[in-house]
Structure 1
Amino acid sequence: MSKSETYRIEVEAVAEYIEAQSNPDDDHYVFAYNITIRNTGTIAARLISRHWIITDGTGHVQEVHGQGVVGEQPLLAPGESFRYTSGSVLETAVGTMHGSYQMEAADGHRFNAEIPTFMLAMPRVLH
């Protein structure tokens, strides 16, 4: 069995604009994102830390590093999923997020689970 089959984490992200907490007149745009992390490998793995790269509509990049997610370091057995919701604030109506989770498998092997790029966008801004 290859390492790619043993250590495999899939990440899915869905973002939404939070109009009630945003104030476009002050360049304050609030977004929530729902993340699903699924262990599709063959060994249990714990999410140790996160690294986000957030880019706003002007190209300004902010990097965020931290332990776990929403105060947790979930352990995912093969086939298990973990879902959480978090948020981001931008100064533009459009932006993107991507990054990685640093994982540690039950055998001590550390690896990254890539978070694919997803869009943060105020409704009706993009065509």
Structure 2
Amino acid sequence: MYSKTTHQIRVTVQPQYLDQQSRPDENHYVWAYSIEISNEGAGDVQLLNRHWIITDGRGQVQEVKGPGVVGEQPVLHPGDSFTYTSGCPLATPSGIMAGRYEMETPDGERFWVDVPAFSLDSPYQGIVLN
């Protein structure tokens, strides 16, 4: 599990390799990741946009930007959490994802919240020492 707090918003990520959706013989590997976004601050915030950087095991980078997450732009009141699950396919048996969410307060202040970098590892990846 990976967790990071930025501007009193905690983002926790739990990735999971999906063996039944993956086809290693065709270089197709799939992960699900569950994310919990928790408002630990004193005011409301709304998630407006997402920005992902996905790097596969060969160093190929894909950038994903867009409104909301899984079709939603949740409002989080103090103490609230929002949880969702999404997925990521890669052509390599490992990779890494990192990102950020653009948030907005009711008075129009916008700021970015970091999503911690998290590793996408399959049982088909050999051990690599960094």
TM-score by length of 1: 0.91
Counterpart residue number, 2:63: 63
SS in 2 for 1:107: coil
Correspondences of 1:28-107 after superposition (within 5 Å): 28-107=28-107
For residues 123 and 76 of structure 1, what CA distance do their matches in structure 2 show? 36
Task: Judge which range, 117-126 or 16-25, deviates more.
Answer: 117-126
For residues 70 and 11 of structure 1, what CA distance do their matches in structure 2 show? 16
For residues 125 and 95 of structure 2, what CA distance do their matches in structure 1 show? 11
**Cα distance change on mapping 1:125 and 1:47 into 2, 3 Å:** same
SS in 2 for 1:43: coil
SS in 1 for 2:20: helix
C-alpha RMSD over aligned residues = 1.1
Contact 2:93 2:124 (C-alpha < 8 Å) held by counterparts? no
Amino acid at match of 1:18: L
SS in 2 for 1:25: helix
Counterpart residue number, 1:115: 115
Q: Deviations over 1:102-124 (max 9, x none)?
A: 00012211000100100111036
Query: Number of residues paired by the alignment?
Result: 121
What is the percent sequence identity of the aligned residues? 52
Q: Deviations over 1:19-72 (max 9, x none)?
A: 111001111001000000001111100000100000000110000001100110
Runs of 5+ in structure 2 lacking a partner?
A: 1-6
Counterpart residue number, 1:3: none
For residues 50 and 20 of structure 1, what CA distance do their matches in structure 2 show? 28
CA shift at 1:126, angstroms? 5.5
Amino acid at match of 1:22: S
Amino acid at match of 1:123: P
Q: Report whether the alignment pairs 1:16 with 2:31.
A: no
For residues 49 and 123 of structure 1, what CA distance do their matches in structure 2 show? 32
